[in-house]
A and B are shown apart, each in its own frame.
Chain A
Amino acid sequence: MSLVGRVIRAAAALGIGLSVTLRTMFRHKVTVKYPVERLPVSHRFHGLLALPIDPETGNDRCIICFKCERICPDRCIHIEAEGKGKERVLSRFDIEMDKCCYCGLCVEVCPTEAIVFVPHYETSTYHRGRLLYALDDLHAAAPKEPVATGIIKRRRA
């Protein structure tokens, strides 16, 4: 191909490409200024884990069945209980959020929907110790209205 032909072809290709970018320029913008603006996340979003407080009893709904501790692939949930029978209470419910892989199996197996996901995702910290969420932290992390509970159970009901 002659030099002139090549120049014409290159100019035409440039025109085609630039017309695409020009069209895009007048289209709806998709970026957000992140720390100032935030995009909403879905209500099924796998964010932080939390133990919501039941307004009727004033306590969480955990019945200490250890199902979540057993199903966890990363073994990051640690539960201990004290007392016998009806007085049995949680003495420890720790989640190591640095190990957690956000798979959601604990939320799925929980028979009382005591453990839920909340759509909070900014959990990074400078200290590793702060990623250990104890019972109080998990209570505090829960919103007033629980989100992302066991979808399966609601579907079967």
Chain B
Amino acid sequence: MALRTEELMLNMGPQHPSTHGVLRLVVTLDGENIVDVQPDIGYLHSSVEKMMEYRTYVQNVALTDRGMDYLVALNNEEAYCLAVETLAGIEVPERARYIRVLFNELNRIASHLVWLGTWGIDLGATTVFLYCFREREMILDLFEKVTGGRLHHVYYRVGGVYADFPEGWVEECTGFLDYFLPRVDEYHQLLTANPIFLARTRGVGVMSRQGAIAMGASGPVGRASGVAQDIRKVAPYEVYDRFEFDVPVETEGDCYARYLVRMEEMRQSVRIIRQALRGLPGGEIRARVPMTMKAPRGEVYVRTESPRGDLGMFLVSDGGETPYRVKIRAPSFSNLYALTEMMKGWKIADVIAILGSIDIVLSDVDR
């Protein structure tokens, strides 16, 4: 006769160091087996979409920095500026496009480094956290020299970018890339070679390809499950179509596959940055757009590839100085809801490993 068991409901968060922000997970347990996980969100809701309706097109760039995903401020600015430029039909100078691509990719590396470091800590690897933040600090210094900000830049403008590189920046950036590539190998030596790390990630939290598509998972989470879609390839924006790079795709769909995809993405970002630095054209960096610009009546939806996935920006204009309605399609939100799919049947100890592998940022989930 089997022992009768009783299901237990456990609240994890919203104040929990491993949920990477104010996320509450309602975990239903049978012993230590997970029966169900329901994420409860809304603790970091900043109503950025509504706030954007009360600020002009120029001012809104400052909001996209912190109201959305705060780790990838430049990719958010990219999505917003691209939407306004498409709506108003503004031609961005060639040099500004290259600079934007360059900074998007630098920010992608910085974001993946934060993810790798914090995920390492989640799994008990403290060293890799320290190393990742050491390299990220260098990227932030590179940002600071150009934009003046470390996390919140307000660097992109509608019609270009704010300022050109200072003297010697390009050499410094090249130097960083030369320094950074061997460091990726070091992370591999610290983690990929480690049997404890493999035991905690390989085969854990599997999501099928169908599941990924059904839940709308995009970015590295989707690509780890075999959804070979990268907006930079399928619908190139800015000048991504001019660069050679590969989109890493894995088919296992487990935590380890998600890890491999992001590690390879960092290498590919270095490739893109190198090509952008080599082909950097001269000339203007900003089209003439008045500070009190008005967008014509209409609506637009643009998609960009943020480090977390498919970042969409829907903009409706009634012809005034401020947008009539803004809707942000946040990649973290869809990826977070794939969590239930991944976690069913795993042990309570795997919750942290699986949650960390999705790489969520709660301000992106709630907006």
Chain A residues in 8 Å Cβ range of B149: 46, 102, 104
Q: Nearest B residue to A44 by beta-carbon distance?
A: B148
The answer to whether A101 touches B163 (Cβ under 8 A) is no
Chain A residues in 8 Å Cβ range of B186: 20
Chain B residues in 8 Å Cβ range of A73: 55, 59-60, 62-63
Chain A residues in 8 Å Cβ range of B148: 42, 44-46, 104, 117, 148
Q: Nearest A residue to B154 by beta-carbon distance?
A: A103
Per the bound structure, the CA–CA distance linking A117 and B144 in Å amounts to 13
Which residues 42-75 of A sit at the B interface, judged by CB distance below 8 A?
Answer: 42, 44-46, 71-74
The answer to whether B144 touches A151 (Cβ under 8 A) is no
The answer to whether B144 touches A104 (Cβ under 8 A) is no
Q: Nearest B residue to A46 by beta-carbon distance?
A: B148
The answer to whether B58 touches A42 (Cβ under 8 A) is no
In the assembled complex, B66 has its CB within 8 A of some CB on chain A:
yes
The answer to whether B144 touches A45 (Cβ under 8 A) is yes
Per the bound structure, the CA–CA distance linking A20 and B125 in Å amounts to 13
In the assembled complex, B346 has its CB within 8 A of some CB on chain A:
no
Per the bound structure, the CA–CA distance linking A105 and B162 in Å amounts to 10
The answer to whether B162 touches A16 (Cβ under 8 A) is no
Do A24 and B193 contact each other (CB < 8 Å), given the known contacts A104-B148, A104-B154, A109-B291?
no
- Select the residue from A9, A16, A24, A44 with max chain B CB neighbours within 10 A: A44
Do A71 and B164 contact each other (CB < 8 Å), given the known contacts A13-B194, A20-B189, A102-B152?
no
The answer to whether B58 touches A44 (Cβ under 8 A) is no
In the assembled complex, B175 has its CB within 8 A of some CB on chain A:
no
Chain A residues in 8 Å Cβ range of B60: 73
The answer to whether A16 touches B189 (Cβ under 8 A) is yes
Chain A residues in 8 Å Cβ range of B141: 42
Q: Would you give the shortest CB distance from B107 to chain A, in whole angstroms?
A: 17
Instruction: Tell me which of A17, A41, A148 contacts B194 (CB under 8 A).
Output: A17
Instruction: Tell me which of A74, A105, A151 contacts B163 (CB under 8 A).
Output: A151
Q: Would you give the shortest CB distance from B153 to chain A, in whole angstroms?
A: 9
Per the bound structure, the CA–CA distance linking A71 and B23 in Å amounts to 35
The answer to whether B189 touches A105 (Cβ under 8 A) is no
Q: Nearest B residue to A14 by beta-carbon distance?
A: B194
How large, as a class, is the contact surface on chain A?
A: 20 to 34
Chain B residues in 8 Å Cβ range of A157: none
Per the bound structure, the CA–CA distance linking A72 and B144 in Å amounts to 21
Chain B residues in 8 Å Cβ range of A13: 193-195
Indicate with 1 or 0, residue by residue over A18-55, a CB within 8 angstroms of chain B CB atoms.
01110010000010000000000110111000000000
Chain B residues in 8 Å Cβ range of A21: 127
In the assembled complex, A155 has its CB within 8 A of some CB on chain B:
yes
Q: Would you give the shortest CB distance from A38 to chain B, in whole angstroms?
A: 14
Q: Would you give the shortest CB distance from B30 to chain A, in whole angstroms?
A: 30
Do A71 and B144 contact each other (CB < 8 Å), given the known contacts A21-B127, A44-B166, A104-B154?
no
Indicate with 1 or 0, residue by residue over B282-326, a CB within 8 angstroms of chain A CB atoms.
000010000100000000000000000000000000000000000
In the assembled complex, A4 has its CB within 8 A of some CB on chain B:
no
Instruction: Tell me which of A44, A105, A155 contacts B154 (CB under 8 A).
Output: A105
The answer to whether B66 touches A10 (Cβ under 8 A) is no
Chain A residues in 8 Å Cβ range of B55: 73
Per the bound structure, the CA–CA distance linking A148 and B166 in Å amounts to 12
The answer to whether B134 touches A30 (Cβ under 8 A) is yes
Q: Would you give the shortest CB distance from A65 to chain B, in whole angstroms?
A: 12
In the assembled complex, B180 has its CB within 8 A of some CB on chain A:
no
Indicate with 1 or 0, residue by residue over B139-160, a CB within 8 angstroms of chain A CB atoms.
0010011111100101000000
* Complex A-B: 5 CB contacts under 8 Å: A17-B194, A42-B166, A44-B166, A148-B148, A152-B162
- Given A17-B189, A44-B166, A73-B62, 13 new contacts (CB under 8 A): A9-B195, A16-B193, A19-B189, A30-B134, A42-B141, A42-B166, A44-B147, A45-B144, A73-B55, A101-B66, A103-B62, A103-B65, A151-B163
Closest 3 CB pairs of A and B: A73-B59, A103-B62, A103-B154
